[in-house]
Amino acid sequence: MDPGLAFVAMRSWFKNASRTNASRGQIGICLALMGCSAVTTGVGAPRDSEDAAPRGVPQCVPGMAIACACDDGTTGAQRCERDGTYGACSCRSPRADAGTSLDAAVDVPAMPDVPAMPDVPATPDVPATPDVPATPDVPAILDVGAPGSPCGPGTYPSDAGCLPLTSGDAGLSYYDLRIAVRQVTGDGLSMIPLLALGRASDGSPSTENVVFWLSRPGAGTVTPTARLNPVGTTIQFVPCNAVASPACVGPVQIFMALATNPTVPVAVSPEFAISDQVAVSTPAPCLGGGNIGYVRGESGDYISGGRTYMWTDARVVAEANSPNLIRVVLGGSLDSFRVEFSTQRLGVPLMLGVFENAMRYPFENPGRPGFSLSGMGRGCNTLTARYQIHTLESDSSGLARYVATFEQHCEGGTPALYGCVAWRR
């Protein structure tokens, strides 16, 4: 509204209000100047009564509003119409069309919606600082003066052997002795390889002569001397025989020293264990007294036909053709069987213990024991077998007593042929 027109309208209205409503204390105030909303206060809105303003005189400024009371106790609003008179009280309830004017009502534009604050991405979790492993305790340097001592001066024992305290630093020599297994069967036969390594103080591969020994006497045998080479030197350990010597079983380590100082180890292998042999089968069927031969075949075994045979006394004959070959003949012309035990390709004599991975005698490969059980005109072209010598005694006349058990599979098949022999001269 134009401020000038608003002023004229207000002055006219005040004159009329003072003349018609002064007794009620009605006072109208227009705040329509400069575009503001009109606000009025009073005890009641003008009505068509003796108090109403004379016809033709505006009662209010069009557009302004006053508060009014609704029947339900809420506050409504009456607006000034274009003709200068108030309209009905506007209430939420349709029944409230009039009331006593209360506090001034103002048309206040609604506050604009304030956009929600954008979601601020959460601060990513900062990974915890990893635990720094504690610095391992460095064992004290050991002065060693005799074989069997843990490590030599300037070295310390570890799972990898005797290592220099600062093996990675330039200007220091370094030696190592490695073994790939942690358990060895005490069969008195297996050849277990170890790798010996060395580095000279100038960083070049060591080519020194070295010596080796065991931490426990009687645990077996080891290559006594060797010369290191750039790619490592392989030595051999042969375990003791757990059947012949029960004290053989237990942990053992192998030490390496320079030939120029043979009593001070520069490396030691990780500890490994020598275990008992796994028995082939029980010799009980053959221990009833005298000479006995016993064969039992599973269903499907080609040699026995799945049957069981037993021979005694003179029908069991054993002979030692050499220190590494024993042949036992069972039965007679109608039920003849022959069992042969050989270590010829192993390069060792027959001895107490278990012989694993035997091949058909006399066609076994080097480094493998030989075995064959044939009979009744039947034999295996190829076979896998294992046998165990429980008793082996000789005198000046030759073989005196022999007890052995065996297990054979023809042509790589599953059905087994078990048996035992017991013989004495």
Q: How does residue 58 score in pLDDT terms, banded at 50, 70 and 90?
A: low
Same domain, 237 and 364: no
Same domain, 258 and 301: no
The answer to whether position 124 is within a domain reads no
Specify whether the CB–CB gap between 336 and 329 falls below 8 A.
yes
Same domain, 313 and 340: yes
Q: How does residue 221 score in pLDDT terms, banded at 50, 70 and 90?
A: very high
> What pTM value is reported for the model?
0.53
The answer to whether position 144 is within a domain reads no
Same domain, 264 and 291: no
Q: How does residue 243 score in pLDDT terms, banded at 50, 70 and 90?
A: confident
Same domain, 186 and 219: yes
Same domain, 314 and 411: yes
Same domain, 412 and 317: yes
Mean pLDDT taken over the chain: 78
Give the residue from 246, 275, 304 where a domain finishes: 275
What domain count does the chain have?
3
Give the residue from 249, 275, 301 where a domain finishes: 275
**What's the full length of the chain, in residues?**
425
What number is the average pLDDT over the span 376-400?
94
Tell me the residue range of the domain where 53 lies: 3-79
Q: How does residue 9 score in pLDDT terms, banded at 50, 70 and 90?
A: very low
The radius of gyration of the chain from alpha carbons, rounded to an integer in Å, stands at: 57
Of 286 and 27, the one with more pLDDT:
286
The per-residue pLDDT for 44 is 42
Specify whether the CB–CB gap between 389 and 352 falls below 8 A.
yes
Same domain, 288 and 419: yes
Instruction: Measure the N-to-C terminal CA separation of the chain; round to a whole number of Å.
Output: 143
The per-residue pLDDT for 111 is 56
Q: How does residue 171 score in pLDDT terms, banded at 50, 70 and 90?
A: low
Q: Is the pLDDT of residue 409 over 70?
A: yes
pLDDT digits (tens, 9 = 90+) for 326-369: 999 999 877 889 999 999 999 999 999 999 999 999 999 999 99
| Cα diameter, the chain | 163
Residues linked to residue 422 through DSSP beta bridges, in sequence order: 292, 403
Same domain, 249 and 301: no
Q: Is the bond leading into 362 cis (omega within 30 degrees of zero)?
A: yes
Say what percent of the chain tops pLDDT 70.
67
Same domain, 252 and 202: yes
Specify whether the CB–CB gap between 185 and 275 falls below 8 A.
yes
Q: Is the pLDDT of residue 40 over 50?
A: no
Same domain, 379 and 267: no
Specify whether the CB–CB gap between 164 and 152 falls below 8 A.
no
